[in-house]
Homo-oligomer: A and B are copies of this chain.
Amino acid sequence: MTDAGDEDRVAAWRAVLLAQSRALRAIERDMEAAGVVSLGWYDVLLELNAAPDRRLRMQDLAARAVLSRTRISRIVTELEAAGYVVRRPDPDDRRAALATITPAGRAALKRAAPTYLAAIEEHFTRHLARGAGRAIAEGLQPVIDAHRELLDPRR
């Protein structure tokens, strides 16, 4: 059953799984406690804010964020109700919907940013040894890229 050699080969995977699930819970708790937008909302607002013209098609949003296509749809509906985003059909391809962040959305993002950054520092970054952050980010990038191509070959 999973001998020592196997264990070695899955160690990095299990470390990612454990570190992520532990830190994520803690970060979400902090954001909830601070009364700022949830992590899901934050991620969507962050990507929209960074996008050209501050807007993105649903699909591109899903590819960038850590969320499924359907989940994006639901979250954008919530964000729209909160006034943080507007959704309009893409004039170039009327099947597509463009989500655009509003000034209120940018304000909410700005309010949440300090909590978000502090929580990541407290529950994740703070524990990393010198250089480990870069090694992790660069080490994992090929994994992320490989799956991005699978999802969306044109990128």
Classify the interface of chain A: helix, strand, loop or mixed: helix
Q: Is A129 an interface residue (CB 8 A)?
A: yes
Please state the number of chain copies in the assembly.
Answer: 2
Residues of B within 8 A of A120 (CB): 9-10, 13
A86 at interface by CB-CB < 8 Å: no
A59 within 8 A of partner (CB): no
Segment of A18-26, A77-85, A92-100 engaged in the interface with chain B: A18-26
Chain A interface residue count: which class?
35 or more
User: Which residues in A have some Cβ–Cβ distance to B below 8 Å?
Assistant: 1-2, 6, 9-24, 26, 46, 49, 66, 106, 109-110, 113, 117, 120-121, 123-125, 127-129, 132-148, 150
